[in-house]
Amino acid sequence: MEKVVNIIGGGYAGCEAALTLAKYGVQVHLFDVPNDEQPLVFSEKDKLLKEELFALKVETAEFLQEGEKIKEKLMQKVKLSENIRLFEGIVGEMSLIEPTIIATGGSTKEPLFSQFEKIFGVVRCHRDLPVFPVVTGIDDKIKNQNGVFYLSLSKEKVDEFCKAINYFRAEAKNESLEKWAQAGREMLRAKALRPIVSDKVEYACLKFIKTEKGFLIQNFRTALPDNAQLSLFKFLLGENVEVVQFASFVACTYINPQLTLNEFLQAKANPNLFFAGRVVMTNGVLQAIGTGHYVALNMLNFIHKRKYVKFPEKSLLAQSIDKLFLQGSFNCDESCEKCDIIKSQSKIVLDQLKKFKEDYNARNAWHNDLCGKKRW
């Protein structure tokens, strides 16, 4: 019996995966939940990625116009395909024995997310993404030890910090300042304010990452309102502190590819499963489309028991996928900036991508021709 590939999620990554597989003659069941869509906006990096997607001849390329809403056009193309069957509605459970691509974006529904946790383990799946605060005006207060930026706090200051957080009574989330402060000073020190050993042992320290915007405060996961955060920053960092970005929790569901997937975005725990798009924290529409195309090609290889492929290593698409596996990429919202690879794109790389796709198509045609011949 011919295998059917299930694709859960009909966004950019899911549609690209479905249309690519359908083009190669694979029967696809696409599960989608209709939702609102924002017009496309492209950065300088996006324009380079767009050139690469066109070089690969991805199925969604014809719709990639800035300012356009393309979901409806993609769905029209999906519905016209004889190899795709579209199902609209929430998927409560996925099959673990059928080839499946997960492209549920950042809003995976609870029943399916619970299944992720059972497959990969709770620590490898995340329900909320912390966006950490960025501040300026504190250069004279921060110490720098071998590239580690920190501010030392006394025991008394930490006690007052705990009281201040609890005073505002923000809704406590898992792994948040509020939760740690409720558990006591030592929990707060063990999490957000871990001591540092310099020429002496610093009792507790706020730690920072220096960015172009300012200093990003690490492990500052909180649901405190902005005015409460501002009061805390002024208390800890002085009246001259300016806040470029407040801390918040973004409603985002994702799995950590470093711990769960191999380099082909295939689940280590279950080779039937591939992941693409926002659920593995790709940054932006074009990167999502790139991963959708990538996993579709390798899903085809998986079905036919062929060797997997990777995009040419000098391409931005290959680099953006590699970035997903960098240690620490999922610690803060700055990971998105780390994925923004902006450099000039050469004709050589675009030619490499075209050659890659031509070789892939030739190999697929050879395979189909071989399988179609009678063997005596």
Q: For residue 58, give the CATH number of its domain.
A: 3.50.50.60
Same domain, 233 and 299: no
pLDDT at 79 over 90: yes
Helices (H) and strands (E) in the chain, counts: 13, 13
CA distance 48 to 344: 8
In angstroms, the CA 117 to CA 139 distance is: 42
202 within a domain of the structure (yes/no): yes
Collapsing DSSP to helix, strand or coil, 106 comes out as coil
Domain boundary among 200, 219, 246: 246
Least confident of 61-65, 67-71, 124-128, 308-312: 124-128
Q: What are phi and psi of 231, to 5 degrees?
A: -60, -40
pLDDT at position 334: 37
The band of 131, judged by pLDDT with boundaries at 50, 70 and 90, is confident
What pLDDT is recorded for position 292? 97
Among residues 202, 226, 246, the one where a domain terminates is: 246
Query: What's the mean pLDDT when you consider all of the chain?
Result: 86
233 shares a domain with 145: yes
Q: What residues contact residue 314 under an 8 Å CB cut-off, 6+ apart?
A: 348, 349, 352
pTM confidence score: 0.72
Q: Are 123 and 262 part of one and the same domain?
A: yes
Tell me whether residue 188 is in a domain. yes
- Give strand pairing partners of 87: 31
Query: Which pLDDT score, from 0 to 100, does residue 14 have?
Result: 96
CA dihedral 202, 205, 209, 212 (to 10 degrees): -110
Which pLDDT band, with edges at 50, 70 and 90, does 112 fall under? confident
Nearest CA to 210 out of 312, 110, 134, 107 is that of 134
Q: Which residues pair with 249 in a beta bridge?
A: 130
Q: Domain for residue 373, yes or no?
A: no
Vertex 309 angle, CA 308 and 315, to 5°: 155
Region of poorest pLDDT, from 55-69, 70-84, 168-182: 168-182
What would the mean pLDDT of 109-122 be, rounded to a whole number?
Answer: 83
Residue 315: pLDDT above 80? yes
Mean pLDDT confidence for 297-311: 96
What local confidence, expressed as pLDDT, does residue 374 receive?
Answer: 55
Mean pLDDT, to the nearest integer, of 141-152?
88
User: What does the pLDDT read at residue 345?
Assistant: 67
Look at residue 249 in the predicted model and tell me its pLDDT. Answer: 79
Question: Considering the domain boundaries, does residue 371 fall inside one?
Answer: no
Residues 124 and 9 in one domain: yes
In terms of average pLDDT, the best of 63-77, 171-185, 216-230, 353-367 is 353-367
Confidence of residue 116 (pLDDT cuts 50, 70, 90): confident
375: in domain: no
From the CB of residue 160, how many other CB atoms can be counted at a distance below 10 Å? 14
- Laid out side by side, the sheet with 148-153 consists of 143-145, 148-153, 204-210, 215-217, 134-136, 242-245
**298 and 159 share one domain:** no
Flag whether 333 is in a domain.
Answer: yes
Residue 159 belongs to domain spanning: 133-246
Q: What is the pLDDT of residue 294?
A: 98
Q: Is 215 helix (H, G, I), strand (E, B) or coil?
A: strand
**Who has greater pLDDT, 83 or 114?**
83
Q: Comparing 8 with 105, which gets the higher pLDDT?
A: 8
CA 276/CA 279 separation, integer angstroms: 7
Q: Place 2 in a pLDDT band, splitting at 50, 70 and 90.
A: low
Regarding whether 324 and 237 lie in a shared domain, the answer is no
Give 328: exposed, middle or buried? Use CB within 10 Å, 0-12, 13-18, 19+. exposed
3-state secondary structure of 130: strand
Same domain, residue pair 115 and 172: no
The answer to whether residue 257 scores a pLDDT higher than 80 is yes
Task: Please check the confidence at residue 129 and state whether its pLDDT lies above 90.
Answer: no
Judge if 259 and 301 occupy the same domain. yes
Q: Is the pLDDT of residue 327 over 80?
A: no
End residue of a domain, out of 228, 246, 264: 246
Residue 374, domain member (yes or no): no
Collect all residues with Cβ–Cβ distance below 8 Å to 81 and sequence separation of at least 6. Answer: 18, 19, 22, 28
Q: Please check the confidence at residue 335 and state whether its pLDDT lies above 50.
A: no
Q: Count how many domains the chain has.
A: 2
Q: What SS3 class is residue 150?
A: strand
Tell whether 349 and 330 lie within a shared domain: yes
Q: Does position 290 have pLDDT exceeding 50, yes or no?
A: yes
Beta bridge partners of 217: 208
> Cα–chain-centroid distance for residue 193?
27
Residue 156 within any structural domain of the chain: yes
Distance of CA 284 to the CA centre of its chain: 9
